[in-house]
A and B are shown apart, each in its own frame.
Chain A
Amino acid sequence: MAKVMVIGAGPAGLRAAESLARFGLDVLLVEQAPYLGGALARHRYGGLMPYFDSGPQVLKAMTAVVTDHARVTVCTESQVGRVESTDGGFQVELMGQTATEEHVQAVILATGFTHFDPRRDAKYGYGLFPDVITGAELEEQMAAGPVHRVSNGAIPESVAFIYCVGSRDRQVGNTYCSRVCCAVSTKQGIELRQQLPQARIVMFYMDVRTYGLWEDQLYWRAQEEAGIVYVKGRVAEITQHDGRPLLKGEDTLIRGPFEWEFDLVVLATGMEPAAGTAALAAKFGVEREPHGFLRQAKPMVSAAITNRPGVFVAGAASGPKTVEDSVMEGDVAAMAVLEHLGVKATP
Chain B
Amino acid sequence: MAKGAGIVERSLVRDADILEHENFVLDGIDVSGRWNTMLKSRVHASRDLQAWDAVRQNLVATSIDRCIQCGMCTAGCTVAHEIPDFNPRQFIYWVRTGRTEELKQQANVVWRCVGCYVCTHHCPKGVNTAEVIETIGQWLATVVPNRMDPAFHANHHAYRRQLARRGRLSLPMLQATFLRSLGRQHELWSPEMQKTVLKMLWDGRAFKALAMGRPRRWRKNRRHVAAQA
Which positions in A face B, CB cutoff 8 Å?
Answer: 200, 219-220, 223-224, 227, 229-232, 251, 253-254, 256-260
Chain B 45-85, CB-CB to A under 8 Å as 1, else 0, gives 11101001000100000000111110000000000000000
User: Once bound together, how far apart are the Cα atoms of A220 and B56, in whole Å?
Assistant: 16
B42 and A256 form a contact (CB under 8 A) = yes
B43 and A227 form a contact (CB under 8 A) = no
B69 and A260 form a contact (CB under 8 A) = no
Q: Count chain B CB atoms within 10 A of each CB in A231, A256, A257, A258 and give the residue with the most.
A: A258
The answer to whether A224 and B45 touch (CB under 8 A), given A253-B93, A254-B90, A254-B94, is no
- Residues of B within 8 Å of A251, CB to CB, are 44, 97
Chain B 28-43, CB-CB to A under 8 Å as 1, else 0, gives 0000000000000011
- Residues of A within 8 Å of B96, CB to CB, are 229
Task: Determine the residue in chain A with the shortest Cβ distance to B52.
Answer: A229
Task: Determine the residue in chain B with the shortest Cβ distance to A229.
Answer: B96
User: Once bound together, how far apart are the Cα atoms of A136 and B155, in whole Å?
Assistant: 56
Asked if B125 lies at the interface with its beta carbon under 8 angstroms from chain A, I say: yes
A227 and B45 form a contact (CB under 8 A) = no
A258 and B125 form a contact (CB under 8 A) = no
CB distance from B109 to the nearest CB of A (A): 14
A256 and B44 form a contact (CB under 8 A) = yes
A200 and B49 form a contact (CB under 8 A) = yes
The answer to whether A224 and B94 touch (CB under 8 A), given A256-B44, A259-B44, is no
- Residues of A within 8 Å of B93, CB to CB, are 253-254
Q: Which of A223, A232, A257, A260 contacts B65 (CB 8 A)?
A: A223
A231 and B56 form a contact (CB under 8 A) = no
Interface size, chain B (Cβ < 8 Å):
21
CB distance from B47 to the nearest CB of A (A): 6
List B residues 117-157 near A (Cβ within 8 Å).
125
Q: Which of A219, A224, A254, A257 contacts B99 (CB 8 A)?
A: A254
B43 and A258 form a contact (CB under 8 A) = yes
Task: Determine the residue in chain A with the shortest Cβ distance to B90.
Answer: A254
CB distance from B75 to the nearest CB of A (A): 15
CB distance from B136 to the nearest CB of A (A): 15
The answer to whether A258 and B65 touch (CB under 8 A), given A220-B125, A227-B56, A229-B96, is no
Instruction: Give 4 new A-B contacts, CB below 8 A, not counting A224-B65, A230-B69, A253-B93.
Output: A223-B65, A253-B69, A259-B45, A260-B45
The answer to whether A257 and B66 touch (CB under 8 A), given A220-B125, A229-B96, A231-B97, is no
- Residues of B within 8 Å of A259, CB to CB, are 43-45
A257 and B43 form a contact (CB under 8 A) = yes
CB distance from B54 to the nearest CB of A (A): 14
A257 and B69 form a contact (CB under 8 A) = no
- Residues of B within 8 Å of A232, CB to CB, are 69
- Residues of A within 8 Å of B46, CB to CB, are 260
A223 and B45 form a contact (CB under 8 A) = no
Task: Determine the residue in chain A with the shortest Cβ distance to B89.
Answer: A253
Interchain Cβ contacts under 8 Å between A and B, 30 examples: A220-B66, A220-B125, A223-B65, A223-B66, A223-B67, A224-B65, A224-B66, A227-B56, A229-B97, A230-B68, A230-B69, A231-B97, A232-B69, A251-B44, A251-B97, A253-B69, A254-B90, A254-B93, A254-B94, A254-B97, A254-B99, A256-B99, A257-B42, A257-B43, A258-B44, A259-B43, A259-B44, A259-B45, A260-B46, A260-B47
User: Once bound together, how far apart are the Cα atoms of A251 and B69, in whole Å?
Assistant: 13
- Residues of B within 8 Å of A260, CB to CB, are 44-47
User: Once bound together, how far apart are the Cα atoms of A230 and B125, in whole Å?
Assistant: 15
User: Once bound together, how far apart are the Cα atoms of A257 and B97, in whole Å?
Assistant: 12
The answer to whether A258 and B45 touch (CB under 8 A), given A229-B97, A253-B93, is yes
- Residues of B within 8 Å of A219, CB to CB, are 68
User: Once bound together, how far apart are the Cα atoms of A219 and B68, in whole Å?
Assistant: 9
- Residues of B within 8 Å of A254, CB to CB, are 90, 93-94, 97, 99
- Residues of B within 8 Å of A258, CB to CB, are 43-45, 97
